[in-house]
Structures are given as structure tokens and as C-alpha cells.
Structure 1
């Protein structure tokens, strides 16, 4: 069985891991819809969105490995870290849920990623800025696609609206973690690497409010709850994702396609 690796805890590496890990785990969750989406066209669309996110994760984790200093590539960072060393937000690791859950989560995250990639296009790190230039185009499509589904479900039948409202009850309070600033964000912002994620909350909320209004849905009130996945303290669901995702590399060390 392949042993785990530990990575340099420097703030620039941790900042990049938050981005790469969040894209990676969300892509893994979306991949669970392959063959199970409500219509064939959506099956293909979700697969493509998942692949886009995995591609973004690969690019960012590769850059994180270069900055980390131990020569780790994106595969080692994805498959050989322990749960406590992943820095994704908790929202993306929650169970797949029904289609309404996926639509809502994809809309929340695509809106966030679009805003983040826009700002990262001005990064002092030329490689990260180049990654962002491509990724922002993908995020715009992801947001448009998922927001359209939010409107269709929110304005659809009584059942589809009920499911959207149920999804809101399950997911909405996890969004606060996206905008919880800390020393890592402050370092990245000061160094010009990337924005403090807290600075994205106002534009994110404005765009989400517009989507909610169009979908005929009410935005839930804020709660004091704050999840902690960005700091490596995850939900009970994260270990199951990693067990599935990392099995082959752990069982067959060094295996390549």
C-alpha cells in the first residue's frame, strides 16, 4: 500500500490547494451522475462540467506542486494526501443528493469560481493567471447552465420547486465557508497571488440574488454555522470520497494510464 505524503504548509501552497482541491472534489461528485442524469443531454453536460473541473484541478495542483518544493505532481497531490491535508470547502464534499441538490450546488460553486477566476487572471503568478484565463470561460458556461436549471426547476412544477427548496435547506448554510477570510487569504492578497475570498462575497451574493429572483425562490436567512473544510477539518463524507478516488493509486503505487 502506497504511503501518504505531507506537503509544505506555506501560505501560497495552501491557497492553491484550496482552489485545486475544491475543483477536484466537486468534479468527483459531479462524476457520480454519469449514466444517472435525468436526460441524456444532461448526462453529457454534467460529464463535461466534471471534466472541466478536473482539468482546472490538475493545472492548479501542478502549480502547487512546483511551489511546494518536493517535486510532487498533480497525481501525487490528489491521490497520496490524507484527508486532513485536503483544503476543499465542505460544500463540495457533501453527498451527491438528487438532481436539485446538484443544480443548486453547481450554481453556487460556478458563480464563485467565475468570480475567483476573474480575479486570478490578475495574479502576480503568471502561470496561475494563465490557468485562470482559460478556466473563467468554462466557469461562465457552468454558471449559465446550472442557473438555467435552477430557473426551470424553481418555476416548474410544485414538486420541482419543493425539491429546490429542500436542497436550499440542506446546502445553503455551507456557503459561508467560501467567504471566511483568514491569514492564508490575507497573505495571498498582500502578495498579489490572488484575492481574499471574503472580497468575493458581495458580488457573489448579488449574482445569486438575481438567479433566485428569476427562479422564484427565496434566499434563506444567514446562520452562524461555519464549516471548516478549508482548514482540513472535513465532514464524515470526505473519507468515503477519498477511499474511492485514491484506491488504485494506493493499491498499485506508481501506476499510470
Structure 2
């Protein structure tokens, strides 16, 4: 049984081990959000949105492959498929915000707004990382994250300023996802060491700019910033929400049914 404190691999030690865990966490964020967005394929409100979410999910899959491959390379723990398809749910290190259920379209958009604004800021800063691989990845990924932000912003404003019902749903979506946003700005021991080494980005340092960006969108949409009544935490330690187990089971179903299969 996996524990909340286990590392990527028994060999993941020192600076390389820390980088491997950091890349794993960011890769898990992208992989799990990709899996959630894929559930909208053929079910989005319009064909255009079906295509938009599919393209965003493909971008996220590309991010996940790069980051998980790098983590696996540093630890000698197989490849990106090994990390994606053979770990237990307690071994995933994504923030809980990435995994919460899609809900209606407004909930998904609220989650996208909060996560993509954070990812854009994170990758912008990570482009200056002392680690060449992470820096090169971030320089490319930030361009895609900027598009993801624009999509979420446009739809948040569209629903917020639309009908009374669309406004109500968008506000309700924000209220539902807001308690999960605090985890984005928490710093664990691994990240703290990498920040000191110039490799990682200090999550707390992104908070002020994130607040300004999100508040700007909410202002244009005529939506109220939710009040923080509770704060989720634990995703980076392998603690996940109730719906995460079924999500991982679906993600890994084909690989587990046909281990070693090649297409």
C-alpha cells in the first residue's frame, strides 16, 4: 500500500531526486486535468467547445508526457507510461483542484479559470529555472497556457454577463472550486529546497499576481470573489478527493487490461 510520504523512487535522492518529484507533481497536475477535460468530449455545449476542450486536453497531455518522462529519466523508474498507468492513486502528487469532478460547464470553467491563471504564472517564472530541461519546457508550455487562460476568461465573462441563469451557475461554480485554490500556493520541503537552488518557483510568490488576474476577470464578468470558508490540502502528499479513485481507474483501465500492449 502506498503511503502519503513515499517518493518517486527509492533512488530519488539529492538534487536530482527533488527535481524528479517536482516534475512529477507538475506532470500529474497536467495529466489529471487532461483526464477530466476528456470527459467533455462529445458532451460539451457546442461543437466548437468540444474541439476547444479537446485541444486544451491535448496540450495538457503533451505537458504531462514531457514532465513525467523527465521525472522517470532522473529516477530510472521506467518512462511516462510507467508513471501514468502503474501507480496507485496515493502515489499521484497533483493538487486536488485538478481532480475535482467536472460538474456542469460553469464548474469546469471556474476550475479552468483558477488553474490556468496559476499555470500561466508558474510557467512564466519557471522559464528562468536553473534546470535547463524545466526551463525549456516552460518556455514552450507558457504559450499554450496563455491560450488556455484566454478561453477560460472569455467563457467566464460570457456566462457572468449573460442571462440570470448563466450568471447564477457561474457564481455557483466559483463557490464550488474556490476552497481548492489555496493549495496552489503552498510550499512543501522539496519545492522549498529547489526554490533555494534556483530550480523551482516559490508558489507563495505567485499569489498576489494570481489574485489580481482572477479578480480582473471576475470584475469584467460581474461576479463576486468567493469567501474562503475552508481550505483543501494534501494533494501533493498523495491525499485525494473521493472521486479520484474512479478517475485513476478509468485512466489506467486499458493499460491494466492489456499490459505491455502496443498500438
Q: TM-score, length-normalised on structure 1?
A: 0.95
Counterpart secondary structure, 1:255: coil
Measured after TM superposition, the shift of residue 104 of structure 1 is 0.9
After superposing the two structures, state which structure 1 stretch, 211-220 or 186-195, moved more. 186-195
| Aligned pair partner of 1:162 in 168, 192, 195 | 168
* Corresponding residue of 1:64: 71
The separation in 2 between residues aligned to 1:21 and 1:39, in whole angstroms, is 28
| 2:55 equivalent to 1:48 | yes
| Aligned pair partner of 2:112 in 106, 111, 129 | 106
| 2:200 equivalent to 1:200 | no
Query: Alignment length, in residue pairs?
Result: 252
Measured after TM superposition, the shift of residue 11 of structure 1 is 2.6
| Residues 168-227 of structure 1: CA deviation (Å, up to 9, x unaligned) | 221101100111112122012012221121211111111001011011001012234232
The separation in 2 between residues aligned to 1:150 and 1:218, in whole angstroms, is 12
| 2:99 equivalent to 1:93 | yes
Measured after TM superposition, the shift of residue 55 of structure 1 is 0.6
Counterpart secondary structure, 2:74: helix
After superposing the two structures, state which structure 1 stretch, 220-229 or 139-148, moved more. 220-229
* Corresponding residue of 1:172: 178
| 2:237 equivalent to 1:236 | no
Measured after TM superposition, the shift of residue 112 of structure 1 is 0.6
Counterpart secondary structure, 1:227: coil
Counterpart secondary structure, 1:57: helix
RMSD: 1.4
**Structure 2 unaligned regions, length at least 5:** 1-6
The separation in 2 between residues aligned to 1:183 and 1:255, in whole angstroms, is 38
* Corresponding residue of 1:14: 21
Q: TM-score, length-normalised on structure 2?
A: 0.92
Counterpart secondary structure, 1:221: coil
